[in-house]
Amino acid sequence: MAITAQQAIERIQKNMGSPWMFGTDICEAGKPDTVVTGIATSFTATFDVLRRAAGSGHNLVVTRERPFWSHENTVMEHSGGSVGPLRSDLMKDSLFQRKSEFVAKNNLVVWRLQENWDARAVDSQLQGLAKAVGWEEHYKPKPGLTRWSRANNIFTPPPATLLEAVQAMKTKLKCVAPRVIGDPSLRVTRAALLHGFLLVPELSAALRDPTVDLIVCGEPVEWEAGPYFMDAAASGRKIGMIVLGNEVSEEPGSGEVAAWIKSLVKEVPVEWIPAGEPFRVVS
């Protein structure tokens, strides 16, 4: 039986397990009444993800970040940040136009799912990342807190040096550009696993546990959480930080999104198409 993008989206919304709270998860491109032939999920709908989705007949693309890059918000997301650019500005850009044309020509629909997904009690982005780095069995949930909630994020992997820990993550996550702060020979035993954009309150909360000696995160602001961490280290605490990058830290969660949608939408194939790490390093 045929299902349209709008019908698939409504089914997803109804099954979210929490009220649909955020109006930011919207159809970003394409026509909602399009008949869906397959669903792709990704951290972000890059040109490459759109090509692979179109090529494999997955014409509903569920993306965590926006296909036209900007959050288009009118409030700042961090201090010293900026707002926009808004759609009216983006539309003048030739890359915007080319990407929009590709979406239209290939009958794609791009729908954003981030805020409402993150508002669920269980943080599937955390769960996905923990699985991807092989840490599920090392999970140390705090009693009294929902298992796999965002703040319940402590793991005790086998003791390793900071360098060994990051090398293991590079292998597991197949990434090349994680950035590290701390002594490579520092012994790390107890990690707080964070993901995505990192602001000071979340980092500060993770550091309240005095036994944590490793912070793993996605993207700290370099005049906020970055120096906050460096100050914690300068205060005498033996601690390391692995900054995976936003995509690397959030992409496994898009695999979780795919698995979950698969359980709801059985009419069409559902596939996770990772955007991949955007960075290279100098050799």
177 binds another protein (CB under 8 A): yes
Q: Which CB atom, from 226 or from 255, has the smaller least distance to another protein?
A: 226
Q: What φ, ψ does residue 71 adopt, rounded to 5°? A: -75, -10
Candidates 219, 251, 256, 271: give the one binding another protein (CB under 8 A). Answer: 219
Element (H, E) at 247: helix 246-264
The DSSP symbol for 43 reads E
69 binds another protein (CB under 8 A): yes
Query: In whole angstroms, how large is the CA radius of gyration of the chain?
Result: 20
Candidates 8, 113, 166, 206: give the one binding another protein (CB under 8 A). Answer: 166
Q: Which CB atom, from 8 or from 249, has the smaller least distance to another protein?
A: 249
Element (H, E) at 118: helix 115-118
The rounded distance, in Å, linking the Cα atoms of 16 and 263 is: 12
112 binds another protein (CB under 8 A): no
98 binds another protein (CB under 8 A): yes
Candidates 4, 6, 70, 106: give the one binding another protein (CB under 8 A). Answer: 70
| Residue 227 CB neighbours (<10 A) | 14
The rounded distance, in Å, linking the Cα atoms of 279 and 63 is: 19
245 binds another protein (CB under 8 A): yes
Applying CB under 8 A, what is the total number of residues that bind another protein? 61
Q: Which CB atom, from 119 or from 233, has the smaller least distance to another protein?
A: 233
Which token pair is 163? Answer: 């360098």
125 binds another protein (CB under 8 A): no
The rounded distance, in Å, linking the Cα atoms of 257 and 270 is: 10
CB of 231 to another protein, least distance (A): 4
Q: Are 102 and 230 in contact (CB under 8 A)?
A: no
171 binds another protein (CB under 8 A): no
Q: Are 280 and 176 in contact (CB under 8 A)?
A: yes
71 binds another protein (CB under 8 A): yes
Q: Which CB atom, from 183 or from 267, has the smaller least distance to another protein?
A: 183
Please give the C-alpha separations between residue 39 and each of 117, 125, 248, in angstroms, as whole numbers: 17, 19, 21
Element (H, E) at 176: none
Residues 6+ apart with CB under 8 A from 166: 178, 180, 242
47 binds another protein (CB under 8 A): yes
CB of 225 to another protein, least distance (A): 7
Which residue stretch of 120-128, 152-160, 222-230, 259-267 sits at the interface with another protein (rule: CB under 8 A)? 222-230
151 binds another protein (CB under 8 A): no
Q: Which CB atom, from 72 or from 267, has the smaller least distance to another protein?
A: 72
3-state secondary structure of 202: helix
- Binding residues (CB under 8 A) for another protein: these are 44, 46-48, 65-66, 69-71, 79-82, 84-85, 89, 93, 95, 98-99, 163, 166-167, 170, 177-181, 184, 197, 200-201, 204, 207-208, 219, 221-228, 230-235, 243, 245-247, 278-283
